Amino acid sequence: MADIQLEVRDLRKTFHPGLFESDVEVLKGLSFEVRRGEIFGFLGPNGAGKTTTIKAITEIIFPDSGSIRVCGLPHTDLEAKRRLGFMTESPYIYRHLTGREFLRFCGELLGMQRSGLEERISRVLDEVAMDAHADRKMGAYSKGMLQRLALAQALLGEPDLLVLDEPLSGLDPVGRRDVRDIILQQAAAGTTVFFSSHIIPDVETICDRVAIIVEGRVRAVGSVAELMSDEAECSEATFVGAVPADLRTPLLASHVGSDASWARVSSAHRDALIQELADRGARLVSLNPVRSNLEDLLMRHYEGEGS
């Protein structure tokens, strides 16, 4: 049994919009692995290439190169497709179908047997807490209900791997909590969940591991704690008698206040800062270790370097 439920290797994709527009290189050798049973967050700003990656995984588009394996099989394999449940970024609404009719339609498309289908539909409606609304028309659903129904559709074929594109976007706090709970329940039941998001707290709170994607490349992978461990080590100093701009010690950030100045340094430069302030006859008012958060880390990757 493969322990890697989703493997993406060196994926590249360039779009060729047309004769008079330049090519867009969207995926630039993107790789990551999702392990069995984990909730894996695919985090990055708009335009990073998240949806393009998910479209490649679900074979809506074809990458120029690279490989994708789903549940240990090539993603083009029929059995791999059967094991994967997928929710798109903006699920299509059939306004005049009820939720139940929509799921029936999806089940038939999946080639599910009529006999088991009604029971399976009731089951997934229950799992996403939509049973009470199942016989209302989709046109009357709130955004949160539509999202839950879309999740029900993704769950219909009892997938081993759920692939969800921005499942938490555009929802109010209650809707967010509902969808988050559904993801957690599915993971608790043994389903591997891979989802994209550009919203940090959503990823921070529920993911076992996270990949940070910027401009078509994975910049960092690990648990939130692992990603933060290098980050935890910086200090904030407040001092009087010196101006940050004059200091030779590399500063991560600084601010000149009316009474005192403030600067943030990495742990590697903390002692140098203390020494330099002393050399300059400045007075250190306070020095505190600070834990930066995932947001700081992301900003550094987003603003960063073309590594």
Ligand X SMILES: Nc1ncnc2c1ncn2[C@@H]1O[C@H](COP(=O)(O)OP(=O)(O)O)[C@@H](O)[C@H]1O
Q: Using CB under 6 A as the criterion, which residues of the chain lie in contact with ligand X when the complex forms?
A: 15, 17, 24, 26, 44, 46-52
Phi, psi of 35 (to 5 degrees): -85, 155
State the binding partner of 258 from ligand X, Mg ion, none, CB within 5 to 8 A by kind: none
By CB under 5 A, tell whether 197 contacts Mg ion: no
Q: Tokens 């209302």 correspond to what residue? A: 136
Of 70 and 164, nearer to Mg ion (C-beta) is 164
Instruction: Tell me how far, at minimum, the Cβ of 282 lies from Mg ion, in Å.
Output: 48
Instruction: Tell me how far, at minimum, the Cβ of 163 lies from Mg ion, in Å.
Output: 13
State the binding partner of 182 from Mg ion, ligand X, none, CB within 5 to 8 A by kind: none
Instruction: Tell me how far, at minimum, the Cβ of 198 lies from ligand X, in Å.
Output: 7
State the binding partner of 26 from Mg ion, ligand X, none, CB within 5 to 8 A by kind: ligand X
State the binding partner of 133 from ligand X, Mg ion, none, CB within 5 to 8 A by kind: none
Instruction: Tell me how far, at minimum, the Cβ of 54 lies from ligand X, in Å.
Output: 8
Half-sphere exposure at residue 93, Cβ-oriented, CA atoms within 13 angstroms? 15
Q: Rounded to whole angstroms, how far apart are CA atoms 112 and 116?
A: 8
Residues 39-68 contacting Mg ion, CB under 5 A: 50-51
Of 46 and 115, nearer to ligand X (C-beta) is 46
State the binding partner of 17 from ligand X, Mg ion, none, CB within 5 to 8 A by kind: ligand X
Give contact residues for Mg ion (rule: CB under 5 A): 50-51
